[in-house]
Structures are given as structure tokens and as C-alpha cells.
Structure 1
């Protein structure tokens, strides 16, 4: 029989449709003996070795990521293209395919995440060369998806932060054309947030590429930016191989653009 008090604590720590690792549950005060008994009685159901859910749980990628965010030692957030899609700003939503969920963190994702039979493919992006630690800790550049009532929400990048994260992957995983189409739809970005993010961003490539794409579309917020304050480095940057040098921001871009 399971200890009633510990069982009630488990229900609070592990709501339905979320997951938890054995080490994390131990740090929350549940004994190893109790956890082993909970597995034997099928109160806890192993998802993979050392990672559990409760009976009748329905795993979703949002539940998995919200669980990861709750347990992680360093901030992990949904960003880039996935964050733009959550805001309805994505252009190429995959139909019928397993969604790719872009996760941003200074530390690598735990190995168990790749072993879970999840309804999504998780892709990690290291942030050490993109954002300072202070910005990763700053919640005002994140939004929350209340994916299920009464459960911890999902943190994801605001559009201003997400587009900069996405541009770090051009042209390796996102094409210039796709990035350009996404930028075209970003009419309502906050110049105040952009100003702070562009000053904080560690990647010269990302900042120059953003300013070039933003300049192409001349959104109302563009004229409020202050590029002279964004530490854009010196010299040319090769981004598009075999491309043409764009004179203002000194980056190579596709000839047809």
C-alpha cells in the first residue's frame, strides 16, 4: 500500500498530462522507496527509464516541454519558428508531419527527451553565442501558453525575440526566402523590445541580417531603431555563399534578393 500523504503529494507534484524524472521527484521530498512502490502499483507509469507520468495521462509536446521547464536548472524556452507559429505568425505549418519544436537553452537538453515517444521532434539551440545569461533569465521577453487550465503554462519567446533566434539558423535550416516572408508579416513588433534585444544580442550576423530584412519591408517600427547602438562589428560577413554583397550592412545575400 502507498502512503496516503505521499500519494497526495505525488498528485500535486505530477498533475495528469505532465511528466517528471525520478531525481526531481526525490528533490521534492518523495522517497526512493515510495517511488519504487508507485511504479510497481502502476500509480507511476515509466515513459522511459527514470521518467514517469501518471495513469491515463495523454502526452503532448506542450506537456513535455512545460514539464522540462519546471524541472530544468537553467532556463529553457520554446523559441524561433515554433514561437512564431504559436503566435500565428508562421508561414509553413507542417501538415501531417511530426512538428519540430525548437527549444533554446544555454545547456544541452537532457538525454531522456530524445528517447521519449513524443508527438514532436525536439531540436535544441544553444544560446551562449546569442543571448547573455541575464536575458535568458528575463521573463518580460517571454510569453505564456496556457495549454491546459490549472497546469503550469508553457514559456515561449515573444515575436521580437523569436525572429532573432530564427535568423541565427539562416541559411543552414531556414532559407533567406522563408525568413523574408516571415519578416514581411511582422507588422506589430515593439520597437522598445527590439531595441533592448538588439543591444543585448551577441551575434553580429543575426543583428545585421535582421536590419537588412527589416529595411526591405519598412515596417513602421523600423524607423524607431538605433543601429548605431547595436555593436555591429566591422568588416564583411559571408552569409549567402556565392551571393552578392549588400552595401549598407556588409553581408552577402542571395543575388535574386
Structure 2
């Protein structure tokens, strides 16, 4: 009985999550999956979702399996993407946090969100940067392929988080350290971005940091709208961007 599973495991990491529909496509039908479960080879996580007995798949490994086996596009983004790329200025107390993104028509399954993992999940469905996965790149870590936001996309995702207004200075510290980003990718992302708040905050911070990639942007092609934004309830009004931001960010040198 072990032979079929051993053949399948030649192509995936042992700590992968195994989806029933994918196993079927590899020649192991539902009856065979049940037999492997009864014989102690597989443990059931949810309906049609398994792991090898004795393994503990990580959250990110599970996301990789979800994407590669089911043809999905769950993106590891925001602070998690920045940390994977070496920008670890923003530290969470306690268990690590995974920021995951999908579009609204492809929500993550409830079992994945409810399961106890090695990371806490912060999950958002959003299309504020369009539906084309602009600035999303493939990273391979420990034989697993991940869809990970580029640094350029990830910083915009950070600014779009619901609680971003309380973390503006932390986000600025990250932008300040980003000296070698791609202005052409930023240009594409900013022109596609539907959040005027995110665009204004980002351009304010990028201008303040004074990087050469900011000076290469074609600002006339980026629509910032005309509405006034109160990013924080009190603070300092920035006339150029028609918004009120925290005093600590405005006065930071």
C-alpha cells in the first residue's frame, strides 16, 4: 500500500498538506485515501484535507500546498513579505503573524483560518491593487513555492491595513531603509491603486525619505483625488497631500 504514497511524496515536501482532489489527480482516489487514513499513513485535517501521520505542516507550507495543488493564488504579503525579504523592522510580540491576501471571489476555506498554526493569521480579501497580482513574485523556501508580495507591493499593503494609522512611523522606518526599490514597479502599482489614502501616505513618506527611486516617479500620472483625509483624528495637516497625519510622523527628522 505504501508504494503509491511514496511515489507521490517524491515530488512534494513531507510536511505538505495533501488535498483529496489533488491526490485523486495523482492516481489516489477517495477510496484509496480512506484506506491510507485507516492504515495510519494519513491524518485528516478537514474534509478532503490530510497530512502525513507524524508531521505538523506549518501555516506557510499549507498555503504553498493550497496554491500549488489547487491552483489558487493566496499571497503572503504586507509585513510578512517584508520580513521574508529581510526588512524586519516591525516586530510582533508573541507568535509570528502571517498576512495573507486573496481576491474577494477566492476566499480561503474556513478550516484553514480556524486551524491552530505556528503563526497567527491576518487575512484580507482585497483588490485595491487590481486583480492581476501586480508585483507578486514566486519565492522558494525549503522546497516550497510561495506567492510573495514584492517589497514595493508589500509596503502599499501595509498602508492599506485597517490599523495602519496607528503604525505610520513604523511603516516610515521601513520605507526609509528601502534605498534600492524599483520606480517602474511603483509607478505601475500606484497607477493601478484604487486607494487615494494609500497613495497619498506612500508618496508623502517616499518624498520625506528622499530616495532616488521616488524622484524617478511620474507623479502627474498618479491620481490622488481631491477629498481631504483625516488619517489620524488629531495631528498635523499636510497641505500638499490634503491630509492630517500623526504629529510624530510629521515631525520626525
TM-score range, shorter chain: 0.7 to 0.9
Q: How many residues align?
A: 247
Instruction: Please identify, of 18-27 and 228-237, the stretch whose mean Cα deviation from structure 2 is larger.
Output: 18-27
Instruction: Please identify, of 239-248 and 13-22, the stretch whose mean Cα deviation from structure 2 is larger.
Output: 13-22
The structural deviation recorded for 1:40 is: 0.4
Structure-1 separation of matches of 2:36 and 2:117: 23
- What CA deviation, in whole Å up to 9, does each residue of 1:175-227 have, x standing for no partner? 11111111111111111111111111121111111001111111111110112
- 8 Å CA contact 2:138–2:147 kept in 1: the answer is yes
Aligned twin of 2:149: 157
- What CA deviation, in whole Å up to 9, does each residue of 1:134-171 have, x standing for no partner? 2x2x5xx23333221xx331221110010011110264
Which of 19, 22, 26 matches 1:21? 19
Which of 86, 91, 96 matches 1:88? 86
TM-score normalised by structure 1 residue count: 0.86
Aligned twin of 2:214: 222
Structure-1 separation of matches of 2:52 and 2:33: 12
Helix, strand or coil for the counterpart of 1:101?
strand
- 8 Å CA contact 2:237–2:244 kept in 1: the answer is yes
- 8 Å CA contact 1:48–1:115 kept in 2: the answer is no
Which of 177, 181, 184 matches 1:192? 184
Instruction: Please identify, of 28-37 and 195-204, the stretch whose mean Cα deviation from structure 2 is larger.
Output: 28-37
Change (3 A) 1:15 1:173: farther
- Asked if residue 121 in structure 1 is aligned to residue 139 in structure 2, the reply is no
How big is the alpha-carbon RMSD for the aligned residues of Structure 1 and Structure 2?
A: 2.2
The structural deviation recorded for 1:29 is: 4.5
Structure-1 separation of matches of 2:199 and 2:26: 42
Helix, strand or coil for the counterpart of 1:235?
coil
Structure 1 spans left out of the alignment, 5+ residues: none
The structural deviation recorded for 1:28 is: 4.9
The structural deviation recorded for 1:63 is: 1.1
Helix, strand or coil for the counterpart of 1:165?
helix
- 8 Å CA contact 2:15–2:56 kept in 1: the answer is yes
Structure-1 separation of matches of 2:189 and 2:81: 16
Structure-1 separation of matches of 2:247 and 2:169: 12
The structural deviation recorded for 1:20 is: 2.2
Change (3 A) 1:196 1:66: same
The structural deviation recorded for 1:255 is: 2.6
Structure-1 separation of matches of 2:195 and 2:70: 25
Which of 87, 96, 99 matches 2:96? 99
Change (3 A) 1:98 1:173: farther
Change (3 A) 1:126 1:40: same
TM-score normalised by structure 2 residue count: 0.87
